[in-house]
Amino acid sequence: MKNYISINGQKTELTEEQVKRIKESFAVPMVKLADNAPGDVVKVGDHEFVVLEHRAEGTALILKSLLCEGEEFGDENNNFAGSNVESICNEFAEELAGIVGADNVLLHDVDLTSDDGLKDYGVIKRRVSLLTAPMYRQFVDILDEHKIDAWWWLATPYSTPRHEHTSWIKCVSPSGRIYYDSYYGHYGVRPFCILNSNIFVSK
């Protein structure tokens, strides 16, 4: 079987070596997730992620861009558990499970301690969540290299009902500063997850 390429309407036969080189040029290099350094960008399915750190249980990642924008945090209060954005994260967890396998999308703790130190909302386990404010501060140098021109939600509440406050939630500005707004504000969702470090991703 002969192979041809058409350039400006002219048909030219290709050798087997030329076909092989063309195929290689289109091939996407696959690497083990563990072999990427913090700050590297990797692709899982159709989604690009930024590597934040490697942990004993897996590799922490954040979506390079927003999964969706203009989303209300919730319709009742500033608790991530049971919120609208949590539902979006749960749906994304199902999508990731379909790409890499459910066992490779790892449960992690989401510490919902409020900005004023109240632990009323507890620590929950999720496969996909949002960064908390302390986590944002931990990874700010990496995140500054991957800023997005949009506001996006964090999971940390400003306070809780114990201090007569259920409205405000922390968020990040396009410049990278932490602010807060009410749970009925409309900001972007930028999921955080931990994946098995032994899976293969593209770069």
Show pLDDT as tens, one digit a residue, over the chain (203 residues). 555 455 555 666 768 776 666 655 556 678 999 999 999 999 999 999 999 999 999 999 999 999 999 999 999 999 999 999 999 999 999 999 999 999 999 999 999 999 999 999 999 999 999 999 999 999 999 999 999 999 999 999 999 999 988 999 999 999 999 999 999 999 999 999 999 999 999 98
pTM, 2 dp: 0.86
Residue 43: closest CA among 52, 35, 33? 33
